[in-house]
Amino acid sequence: MFKISGTFLLAFIINISCSYAASYYVDAVQGKDSNNGLSPATAIKSLKKAAQLSLKAGDELLLANQQEFNGALKFENISGDEDNPIVISSYSAKATSENSKATINAAGFLYGIHIKNSSFINISNIAIKANAGGVPKWLSKQVNSNKTKPMRIGIFIEAHNKGNFQSIHLDNVDVSDIFYNEAETTRSIKETRSANGTQSYGWGIRFIARKGASLSDVSVSNSTISNVSHTGIKFNGHNKGINDAKLYNNIVSKTGGPGMQMSGVVNAHVSKNLVNYSGSSDDSRKWGRGSGMWTWGSSNILVEHNQFLNASGPGDSAGFHIDFNCDNVVVQYNLSMNNAGGFIEILGNNYNNAYRYNISINDGYRIKGENNAFQEGKTFWLSGYQGNKARKGPFNNYIYNNTIYLKDEIMAKIAVAKTTKGAFIANNIFHIEGDSKLVSGDQYKPEKSGKSKIENIVFKNNLFLHANNWPTEVIIQDEQPKIGNARFTNAGGIALKDYTPTNRQLIKDKGIVVAPIPFDKIGLLKGLTVHYDILGNAIIGTPDIGAIEIQ
């Protein structure tokens, strides 16, 4: 009797399955919803009809490029597989060499694209905009019954049911002009001071894993997010329900809130992104406050080779800050420039995080009390703040080989909480041309009351331009400071290479070896030793001081 092996049968089933995968075409000009959509010549017309398709593994939903489609796409409980994802993208409807994207105009809808409880989805080459427009009548009851304010979102990836949903990737998408409210809306100062905003906003891209659900292997790459009234790209995983997230090569600009934000994420890589003008207030509907990026309640996040520029707002608005309840967030090889809130900011109940080999240019210029600012901008801030709980930590954080430049007009402001325990601060350049002062941590004033619990501090071998760059009132002091001018090739410039030191005698091989903080058995999961500087130069032997090795 002829027998079929299990391997042969499996391959046969896969091939049969793939042979039935279909490509569906949507053409807003030539299409008809009475068509089957299986060829450009028989394209369907509307997104409403497209959203009714039962997509399966290997299927493609293709929108005609250079066309605008009014409405929204929502798919729930669909799944491709590892080898045959479901694809949502554009196609060329005409014989042309142009490769512009199809545009979804979701004004009047809550989402441009909404993917719920689904896996193995690739979305690419799509543009989305959604500038106000209210909501359709059929959504009014749902919106009015929600306990939270409704939001408008360009692309919304949601895991709601129990279980893990995986492998959803966004590549080469453009999300812009996302607003919930009409143009005449104006935010109050009180609203901007709220923790994350209390009203309805527009968001660029959101990933949410709700209670009992999880998302894994999700990414946004080679995309642009601009002119949205709150956050550009946001991840929110209940009980750390998002695992393995990637943000690569994106441009995020003019967001009313943060450029990028992660809450409840484990294992993420954030690389080669440009975040510019977060916290923008150039439209009265925008929140008007936000860091380039921040993390909360997250673990094992590597943030490298990014640019965080021009963050503004009356509070927060650092280049990158580590909010409370995080561990092993490593911030390395980044440019942080002209951010109102500052450069180094690590809040309470944080463990074993690091800022290393970054360059900060003119960060922390904000002055409390001016232009409605309720927080000082800060060059350096270790804070024990963890919401409404008693102040705690931060613990065992590593800050080394950063280059910090502040022009004469900016006063450097330093805040260190008395609850800090364990820190390694060495080999940094503090090139502060003007004055420096101790400030409170804004949420409370640890420096002037109560007994300090600071222990296990390694603070030495940092280079200061002037002896008073680090105020004597701060409760931790460099035990072996170096004083002198690194003689940058172009101090005040905006390029990384402008901060190459030329003072070899002061800098070359004058760093100390980075070692674990006393009694810290964890260190950094990425390791304490790095092999390259911010420019990619090899670090051979004893490290130099600062973010750039002298060649």
Note the pLDDT tens digit of each residue in 259-284.
999 999 999 999 999 999 999 999 99
What length does the chain have?
551
Question: What pLDDT sits at residue 50?
Answer: 98
Rounded mean pLDDT, 431-450? 75
pLDDT of residue 137: 65
Q: Is residue 342 part of a domain?
A: yes
In the predicted model, is pLDDT for residue 357 greater than 70?
yes
- Residues 351, 327 contacting (CB under 8 angstroms): yes
Confidence of residue 9 (pLDDT cuts 50, 70, 90): very low
Whole-number Å distance between alpha carbons of 357 and 333: 5
In terms of Cα–Cα distance, which of 222, 229, 89, 73 is closest to 157?
Answer: 73
Gyration radius from the chain CA atoms:
26
Asked if the bond preceding 394 is cis, omega within 30° of 0, the reply is: yes
**Domain for residue 501, yes or no?**
yes
In this prediction, residue 441 carries a pLDDT of 78
Q: pLDDT category, 8, cuts 50, 70, 90?
A: very low
pLDDT digits (tens, 9 = 90+) for 284-337: 999 999 999 999 999 999 999 999 999 999 999 999 999 999 999 999 999 999
Percent with pLDDT over 90 in the chain? 88
End-to-end distance of the chain based on CA atoms, in angstroms?
74
| Residue-range definition of the domain harbouring residue 352 | 291-551
In a domain, 474, yes or no: yes
User: Which amino acid, residue 331?
Assistant: V
**Range of lowest pLDDT (4-18, 87-101, 481-495):** 4-18
b/e per residue 301-334 (b: at least 16 CB within 10 A) = bbbbbbbbbbbbbbbbbbbbbbbbbbbbbbbbbb
Whether pLDDT at 463 is above 60:
yes
CA dist 428 and 406 (Å) reads 14
Backbone angles phi, psi at 391, to 5 degrees: -60, 140
Residue 334 lies in a domain: yes
Q: How far is CA 262 from CA 71, 120, 282, 356, 360, in A?
A: 29, 22, 25, 20, 22
The predicted structure's pLDDT at residue 135: 76
On the question of pLDDT at 228 being above 70, the answer is yes
Number of domains into which the chain is organized: 1
User: Is 249 part of any domain?
Assistant: no
How many secondary structure helices (H) and strands (E) does the chain include?
5, 40
For residue 189, is it within any domain?
Answer: no
- Judged by phi (left if over 0) then psi (alpha if -120 to 50, else beta), residue 107 lies in beta
Mean of all residue pLDDT scores within the chain:
93
Q: Which of 217, 223, 216, 215 is nearest to 260 (CA)?
A: 223
Specify if 94 maps to a domain. no
The reported pLDDT for the residue numbered 5 is: 52
More confident residue, 458 or 18: 458
Position 368 in a domain:
yes
CB atoms within 10 A of CB 79: 17
Confidence of residue 138 (pLDDT cuts 50, 70, 90): low
Smallest Cα–Cα separation from 464: which of 514, 517, 425? 425
